[in-house]
Chain A
Amino acid sequence: MSQTNRKDGGLINKDKTLTFTFNGQILRGYEGDTLASALLANNQQLVGRSFKYHRPRGIVTVGSEEPNAIMEIGSGAYKEPNTRATVTQLYNGLEANSQNHRGPLSFDLMAITDFFSPMLGAGFYYKTFMWPKAFWEKLYEPAIRNSAGLGTLSTEPDPDTYDKGFRYCDILIIGAGASGLSAALTAASSGAKVILADEDFLMGGRLNSEKTKVDDIAGSEWAKNAVDQLSAMDNVTLMSDTTIFGVYDHGIYGALENRSSESRADSKKPRQVNWRIYAKRSILCAGAIERSIAFGNNDRPGIMLAGAVRAYMNRFAVATGKKVSVYTNNDDGWQTAKDLRSKGVNVVAVIDSRSISPVMGIQGAEIFMGTDVVDSKGRRALKSIKLSNGKSIDTDSLAVSGGWNPNLHLTCHHRGIPKWNEDIASFVPDDKAPPGMSVAGRAKGTMVLNDAIKEAHDLGSSVAEELGFKASDLEPATTPAVAYNVVANWGVPSGKNRAWVDFQNDVTAKDVKLANQEGFKSVEHVKRYTTLGMATDQGKTANVLGIGIMAENMGQTMQETGTTIFRPPYNPVAVGAFAGRRRGMEFYPTRYTPSHKWSEEQGAVFVEVGMWYRSQWFPQPGETHWRQSVDREVIQTRSSVGICDVTTLGKIDIKGSDVSEFLNKVYVNAFAKLPVGKTRYGLMLREDGMAMDDGTTARLSEDHFVMTTTTANAVSVYRHLQFCHQVLWPDLDVHMISVTEQYAQYAVAGPNSRKLLEKIVDSKHDISNEGFPFMAAGEISVCGGVPARLFRISFSGELAYEIAVPTRYGDSLMRAMMEAGEEFNVVPYGTEALGVMRIEKGHAAGPELNGQTSAYDLGMGGMVSGKKDFIGYKLGLREELQRSDRMQMVGFKPVNKSDLVEKGFSMAGSHLLGLREKPTTENDQGWISSSIYSPMLGCYIGLGFIKDGLNRKGEFVRAVDLVRGSDIEVEICSPHFYDPEGGRLRV
């Protein structure tokens, strides 16, 4: 309806009208439009407010290099800020809102900041807002933070799904313009596997925006034919709407494909796919990006890049204004005047800064050669421009061309350093591209299209040949050769008027000059001090201009000044795309124990232990607080029998004739003479002498052992053992495999544990106290022939066993044992009760094996053998680790038994201080590593480390917890609180 700027022609589909909103206003466009082209069609010039000064801004470009037209798309949880309208494909129902203004876009209350601009230059926060000091934190900083920033986040979780994919090819071609398509045609015809990717949803690059003829037909037509040809080939994968965002090692590329251009709230499809592409070679045909010229007030809505102005006309059939003017320093800018004039648009002036003859005649336009634009007028939309010769020209659309920069971003991802090329007045790629990458066409600096096509055509063939495919015999496409003539122009002094360089970060030529004056001479410093090039567009339209201004200021050459380093990602990538499906519960795999289903039926409360779900406690009807459940489980286990799933602990099956010698090398204590049928506790150190892990190792036969580890270290201990085996002692006859998941394992503990097991274990096995004494181990069978392993070990301190069966029997074994134990009131117990019991017995576990404690610190110095070499032996003998005043593990109990009971929390994490000392770091004597309420002792107890602890039993100190607010007197005691003699183990 009211698309007042819409003309005939273009590559859009006028049969399909789309409705969208901008700032709540309903507008219309066509299929094939971008949001930007549709806005321009509706004469919406003002699209946002600038970052710092809140100046009115309009659309500048037609590509992903867009600095100004960044908007919030969508609403609610789907709202996405900072989205470039120029590359957003228009769809029905698209909701767009402008960013960074208080009050309406046309009357931004924050525009007042523009008046403070003298105070807000580069690095202003180092020089202003410093007094009074107190005001910074409370007033200035919040105010500055509040007014800075672009879009706002929805703060709700991203509801879209993102996929990840992997693709493999011989040749990845980046960019599907004239060069990319030419390279793809020859590369594919050789038989090589080719992937052709382009960030636009319509392949063809600039051919879709120009009136250039290729092979005597419209360039866009030629492009379409080439795409059709390629899509019919089995060895070609076309990826449009796909940005190659990063060049990684060894031919690995990151690619982001937009999958859904519908309203995201309506789409069931993944929004984007993050592809990892493995390519043997790549050819970069990313073309060139136009740059601007700096002049006074060059940032008004209506001032655009010349290539973009004619792209809007040629591809989208949109006239950017009614009185168009062109300001250029090169021949290419004149094309805009010509194309618009041919569509009946009034071109009022062409201003060329070069002192040469006019490049061509433009009907109705005033031509000014050797002239510059120095100022513009029109706050919310361009009204007029002022020239260096004093003349003013009425114009509502100024097309600026400062020249074209090869888009060499990706060649820099491996620290490539672009080279200045005087002929085209721009930077071209370093000879050293990332390994495997070649460059062709305008991205290389080959600006004449005919040459670019030939170059890419030949390269596609030669790269395929390098890989062993046959060279192509196709002929390259041809196009009339048009020279690219340019004379560098970074803008002329504009007096009081600010000339913008980086639109998105609001950086002016004055800022660059200021940085140089203040001593920032390196381009890397100027970038960070002014923030030029640091916005979401990575300064694609601004960098070279900024370098030019800097070179002029400092009297240097462009090569001397150099560029900063481009890094991935080429365009912003949503974090969700890196996460893929690994979100929420799918971030890690979930590991369930064999008794999980049964535990769920019991209403167990689960806890995450790494990726495992373990039962934490089993609440009974009537229990309202976890302590009730846990206390009950402890008391019941210690008085009769309890069962706990301990499958998660690492299990490693080790076989060979040298295993006992191998075990000697990894444990502190002796294992060489471990008898068959016995198990032994082992402590493992790191090479630096610190305790790493502990467990038990059983000898099932002469050459067959089974080691257990803690749950947390199952993987790292196995890795460590493989290192010792393969690298340190490769000739010991040792073979090992992790069997953590292959066996279900349960602790059966309590005075009635043997009686319970006698009902499960097949009768041919003698598990009496004489037949299967404390620390026995063996292979048995249960439930009428199910193979099992039985270990008489005890973490709880009661008469106890661990029984293992192949995992597939785990669920039924649990049920069978619970049934067999009914007559003994068997209780299932979880990790909490497990923890209470081991602390009551003084067994070290994870909190004590924290990487800072040695065997001696743990009270296990007596276990350390002096007769063999083992990992950690020598460095464990270091003087500092042998000091008697080190923090040693002991027990702590409150002097006042009722302490903490009312508060309901333990001493865990408390630090230990003298009775009258202030709680400071200097007075800190140690800490409490594990603490629980002991139902057996009727009070809180703890294990911890205190200086010279082994010699201080009976002393009183304080346990201080400043976080939770407790400070109680405790007695240093033995860590073995319950059954210290161990009599209950051996019955």
Chain B
Amino acid sequence: MEAASVPSPAAHDDHDHGPPVANQSSRVNSEVLGMLLFIISEIMLFGAFFTAYFFIRVVSKDAWPPGDGLPVAIAAINTAILLSSSVTMHWTDVSAKRDNQLAMKVGIVTTFLLGLTFLFIQINEYLNIGFTPETSASASVFFGLTGLHGAHVVIGLLLLWMSTVRIFKGKVGPDHHRGLEVPGIYWHFVDAMWIVVFTTVYIL
């Protein structure tokens, strides 16, 4: 019986040493991989709302844009703000790897504030846009897509807040910067996704 030729099972032992260190079977870091996969999920979530956009605007031809014209100019400025936050985020990352604590602090705070500004402008736009989700299906799609993105900005800001706290407590440096890198990846995704939302909703 060949199974017998397998060494007898490791004896059950309860003396408290921790788990054995897992074998790293891939070059990719697990936190980063996890975040990337999560982002795929997120993209699909937006995909579903873009499906709604497609069916309502293209298939059942509901009047687009909702209301009388969208404030493209403001949205464009807002886009610029969000993009610059990506730049500062990257800068923060770099300074973390260079262990430049001051630059890190400045970088993360500006990134956070830029994100916050984006959110405020967005909310302000909602209040003055002149129509509500009840108005029409197109309006629902508008609020659906921008709102979904807004929610992701909020999540992104929460993650950035964690990184900020940890940076100010001096917990982030060249050899332990996952706590910054991973939220960073998410933040870049939120920005990239905005480009898509902006072009489809405001420009096309």
The answer to whether A binds B is: no
- Seen from chain B, the residues whose Cβ lies within 8 Å of a Cβ on chain A are none
